[in-house]
Amino acid sequence: MRICEMTNYAKRELSTLENPSAEAEWLVALTLNKRRSDAMLSDEISKRDENKIIKNVARRKRGEPLAYIVGDAEFFGLRLFVNRHVLIPRPETEELVECALSFIQKGQSVLDIGTGSGAIAIAIKKFTGAAVTAVDKSRSALKLAKKNADFHNACIEFLESDLFEAVKNRKFDIIISNPPYISPSDYEKLEKTVKDFEPKLALFAKKNGLEFYEKIIMNAKEHLNENGKIFFEVGQGEASEVKKLLEKDFRDIKIKKDLEGIDRIVYATKSGEKYV
Between residue 191 and residue 220, which ones bind ligand SAM under the rule CB under 6 A? 201-202
Least separation in angstroms between CB 49 and ligand SAM: 31
The pattern of x and - marking residues 92 through 121 that bind ligand SAM according to CB under 6 A reads -x-------------------xxxxx-xx-
Name, in order, each residue with C-beta under 8 angstroms of 118's C-beta and a sequence gap of 6 or more.
Answer: 80, 134, 144, 145, 146, 148, 149, 156, 158
Q: How far is the CB of 248 from ligand SAM (least distance, A)?
A: 22
> From the CB of 10, what's the least distance to ligand SAM, in Å?
28
Q: Which of residues 141-170 bind ligand SAM (CB under 6 A)?
A: 141, 161-163
Size of the site for ligand SAM (CB under 6 A): 24
The amino acid sitting at 203 is L
Distance, CA of 47 to CA of 240 (rounded, Å): 55
Q: Is 135 in the site for ligand SAM (CB under 6 A)?
A: yes
Distances (CA, A) of 197 to 69, 132, 182, 190: 11, 29, 15, 11
Q: Of 26-45, which residues contact ligand SAM (CB under 6 A)? A: none
Asked if residue 192 lies in contact with residue 249, where contact means CB atoms within 8 angstroms, the answer is no
| CB closer to ligand SAM out of 120 and 149 | 120
Query: Least distance in Å: CB of 262 to ligand SAM?
Result: 16
13 versus 136: smaller Cβ distance to ligand SAM = 136
Q: Return the number of the residue (31 or 133) whose C-beta is nearest ligand SAM.
A: 133
Q: Is 137 in the site for ligand SAM (CB under 6 A)?
A: yes
Residues engaged in binding ligand SAM (CB under 6 A): 86-87, 89, 93, 113-117, 119-120, 135-138, 141, 161-163, 178-180, 201-202
